[in-house]
């Protein structure tokens, strides 16, 4: 039997971080549509249920538009059951009088639903004292036991403590809250996983996004799970070290090469790192100009520092060499000061000192 483990959709999320209003609107629509695609996938692949592990909506009182979309998808996929456990962002969502028949919900006590020989347990954990919930969970070895929860794994009384769920006969624990796919063992038998968000929402939600496909066989046989990348666009963060480059133009080329294999439809953040003997002022603008038309969205962060090739200048027969030797010979200078003075001095000698520094 197949199940989809998803959650943290955050429908209604602004998606506005570093995106133009137009693009943010596009991403909002894509996020919604991905939920619809997940429902289609469940239907086409004969999944018994879609397990929604919390934060379906981004706000406690979701916009009517987002609610309508969600319940429309549920209603238009009557062959799929949606098991919806609330998280910490959607607690105030109370669906209207006529909840669809294929929508199952949970509450503040353990509750389970049966799908043949599979039981799906869930409990909506309180903000405080999440840990206490584990004590009251019992499962039945005559079933494959799947547990749904929403919250942070940890060791405090306010978190989900994985060890508390060991030896409880859990085959798979479907968690929501953390926005990237990750997981681990519960005990010698069971495993837990966070499904992550189905679409990255901003530059802090990078990498592959999708859902977990769960396949059960029979009670007593291990369940098979696999992460299915499903996002319409991926958000990338690529770090480029430009220490080995010889000029700003060369550094720009190296950055462009570093992102060459990334699909055009994706969102890209380039983080430039390293130390160069030349000034990289304007490198961000150069890259934004050359690459912004290529990606859905682009952000460039330049964290590189300028470090003149001080050692190399020491043997040079030039004004710059003379300056370096003078600095080297001054016993009162700390290494840090020498570097700082050298950086400014070399800039001044090459005529690249910025106006603001010249005035001071």
Contacting residues toward Mn ion, per CB under 5 A: 8, 55
Selection from 55, 57, 100 nearest residue 76 by Cα = 100
Residue 8 beta carbon to Mn ion: minimum distance, rounded to whole angstroms = 4
Residue 9 beta carbon to Mn ion: minimum distance, rounded to whole angstroms = 9
- Cα angle 301, 305, 307 (rounded to 5 degrees) comes to 160
Q: Which is nearer to Mn ion, 8 or 205 (CB)?
A: 8
Q: Tell me the DSSP string of 67-91.
A: HHHHHHHHHT-TTSEEEEE--SS-T
Residue 65 beta carbon to Mn ion: minimum distance, rounded to whole angstroms = 20
Q: Which is nearer to Mn ion, 207 or 219 (CB)?
A: 207
Q: Which two tokens stand for residue 230?
A: 């499903």
Residue 179 beta carbon to Mn ion: minimum distance, rounded to whole angstroms = 6
Residue 159 beta carbon to Mn ion: minimum distance, rounded to whole angstroms = 15
Strands 182-185, 144-150: pairing is unpaired
What secondary structure letter does DSSP report for 32? H
Q: Which is nearer to Mn ion, 90 or 171 (CB)?
A: 90
Burial of 346 (0-12, 13-18, 19+ CB in 10 A): buried
Contact (Cβ atoms closer than 8 angstroms) between residue 7 and residue 212 = no
Q: Which is nearer to Mn ion, 9 or 104 (CB)?
A: 9
What secondary structure letter does DSSP report for 282? T
Q: Which is nearer to Mn ion, 43 or 180 (CB)?
A: 180
Q: Tell me the DSSP string of 173-225.
A: EEEESSSS-EEEESSSS-EEEE---SS--STTS-B--EEEEEE--STTSPPEE
Selection from 278, 226, 291 nearest residue 45 by Cα = 226
Q: Which is nearer to Mn ion, 54 or 274 (CB)?
A: 54
Residue 299 beta carbon to Mn ion: minimum distance, rounded to whole angstroms = 22
Q: Which is nearer to Mn ion, 83 or 259 (CB)?
A: 83
Residue 177 beta carbon to Mn ion: minimum distance, rounded to whole angstroms = 6
């Amino acid at each position: 039997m197949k199940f989809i483990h998803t959650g943290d959709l955050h429908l209604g999320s602004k998606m506005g971080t570093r995106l133009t209003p137009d693009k943010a609107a596009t991403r909002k629509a894509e996020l919604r549509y991905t939920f619809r695609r997940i429902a289609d996938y469940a239907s086409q692949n004969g999944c018994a249920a879609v397990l929604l592990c919390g934060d379906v909506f981004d706000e406690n009182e979701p916009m009517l538009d987002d609610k309508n979309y969600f319940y429309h998808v549920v209603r238009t996929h009557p062959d799929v059951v949606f098991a919806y456990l609330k998280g910490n962002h959607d607690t105030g969502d109370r669906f209207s009088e006529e909840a669809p028949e294929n929508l199952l919900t949970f509450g503040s006590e353990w509750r389970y639903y049966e799908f043949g020989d599979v039981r799906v347990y869930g409990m909506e954990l309180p903000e405080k004292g999440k840990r206490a919930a584990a004590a009251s969970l019992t499962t039945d070895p005559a079933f494959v036991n799947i547990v749904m929860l929403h919250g942070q794994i940890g060791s405090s009384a306010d978190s989900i403590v994985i060890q508390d769920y060991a030896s409880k006969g859990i085959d798979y624990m479907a968690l929501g809250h953390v926005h990237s796919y990750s997981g681990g063992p519960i005990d010698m038998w069971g495993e837990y996983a966070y499904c992550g968000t189905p679409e990255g929402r901003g530059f802090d939600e990078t990498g592959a996004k999708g859902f977990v496909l769960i396949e059960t066989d029979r009670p007593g046989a291990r369940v098979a799970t696999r992460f299915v990348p499903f996002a319409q666009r991926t958000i990338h963060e690529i770090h480029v070290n430009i220490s080995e480059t010889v000029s700003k133009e060369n550094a720009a080329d190296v950055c462009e090469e570093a992102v060459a294999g990334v699909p055009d439809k994706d969102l890209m953040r380039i983080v430039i790192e390293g130390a160069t003997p030349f000034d990289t002022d304007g490198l961000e603008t150069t890259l934004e100009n050359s690459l912004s038309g290529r990606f859905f969205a682009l952000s460039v962060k330049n964290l590189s520092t300028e470090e003149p090739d001080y050692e190399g200048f020491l043997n040079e027969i030039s004004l710059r060499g003379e300056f370096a030797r003078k600095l080297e010979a001054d016993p009162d200078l700390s290494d840090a000061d020498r570097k700082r003075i050298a950086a400014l001095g070399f800039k001044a000698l090459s005529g690249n000192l910025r106006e603001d520094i010249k005035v001071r």
